[in-house]
Structure 1
Amino acid sequence: MEYLFVGIGGIFGAVSRYGISKWVGGRWRGDFPLATFCINITGSFMLGLLSVLFTKGGASPAWLKPIATTGFMGAYTTYSTFAFEIINLIQDGENGIAVRYLLGSVILGLLAAWLGLTLGEYV
C-alpha cells in the first residue's frame, strides 16, 4: 500500500514540476535555468520543513509522509535535470553560468533545507 501512496504523491509532484517549469519558462528568457533552480530550492525548503513536521509526530496519518516526502517531493525536485542543464551550459560555452548555477543551487539548496528544518521546529 505504501507504494501506491508514493505513486500518488509522485503524480502530483511531477505535474507540479512540469507546470512550474512551463510557467517560469514562459516568462524567463535568460540562459540561466531558472525554472529548475526555483523548483530545487523550494523543494529543498519544503522537504526540510516536512521532515521536521513528520518527525514531531502529531495528528498526521501514517500514509501522508510517503505521499508528501518520497512521492511528491521526490518527483517535484529534479537532480537529473539539474545535472543535464549544467552539462549543456558547459557544452554551449556558458561556463560562468554553469558555475553560478551549480554553486548557487548547492549553497541555496542547503540553506533552504536548513531554513525549512529550522522553521519546522517553530511550527
Structure 2
Amino acid sequence: MMAGLFVFAGGFFGAIFRYLASAPLNARAAASGAALPWGTLGVNLSGAFLFGALESALPLSSALRPLLLTGFLGGYTTFSALMLEIDDRWQNRRPAAVAYAALSFLGGPIAVLLGAAFVPRWI
C-alpha cells in the first residue's frame, strides 16, 4: 500500500516537472521552426540518465525506489508524447521523424548507461 502511495506522489511531481521543463522549450522550438521538440527530447534523455544513476545508486530494498524510479521518473519521462511527436513529424518532415526517433531510441539507453556508470562514483 505504501509503495503505491509513493508511486502516486512521485508521478504527480514528475509530471509537473516534465511540464515545467518541456513546455517552454517545445514552444520556443515550434516558434523558431525547429524540426525537433527539444523539450520532450531533453526530459526523456535527462530522465533516462537519472534513472541509470538512481537505479545503480539506490539499494534494492530502498523505499525510495518506487517514489523516484517508478513514480517521479515515470511521470517525468513520456513515451506517449514521443510517439505522437514522431508521428507528427512523419506526416510533415520525414527526415526529422527519423532523426528524432534515432536520438530518442539510441540516446535513451546511452543516457541510462552513462548515469549508471558515472553518478554512483560521485555519491
Q: TM-score, normalised by structure 1?
A: 0.88
Structure 1 runs (4+) deviating above 2 angstroms are 25-29
Query: Is 1:37 the equivalent of 2:36?
Result: no
Letter in 1 for 2:53: L
What is the CA–CA distance in structure 2 between the aligned matches of 1:25 and 1:4, rounded to whole Å?
Answer: 31
What is the CA–CA distance in structure 2 between the aligned matches of 1:21 and 1:121, rounded to whole Å?
Answer: 27
- Tell me the SS of whatever aligns to 2:28: coil
Letter in 1 for 2:8: G
Q: Which has the higher helix share?
A: 2
What is the CA–CA distance in structure 1 between the aligned matches of 2:39 and 2:69, rounded to whole Å?
Answer: 21
1:1-123 equivalent positions in 2, closer than 5 A: 1-28=2-29, 29=32, 30-55=34-59, 62-92=62-92, 94-122=93-121, 123=123
Cα shift at 1:120 = 3.7
Q: TM-score, normalised by structure 2?
A: 0.88
**Structure 1 stretches lacking a partner, 5+ long:** none
Q: Percent identity?
A: 35
Higher relative contact order (CA 8 A, sep 6+): 1
Q: Give the conservation status (yes or no) of the 8 Å contact 2:40–2:82.
A: yes
CA distances 1:61-114 after superposition (whole Å, capped 9, x unpaired) = x3321110100000100111101111111112x000000000111111111111
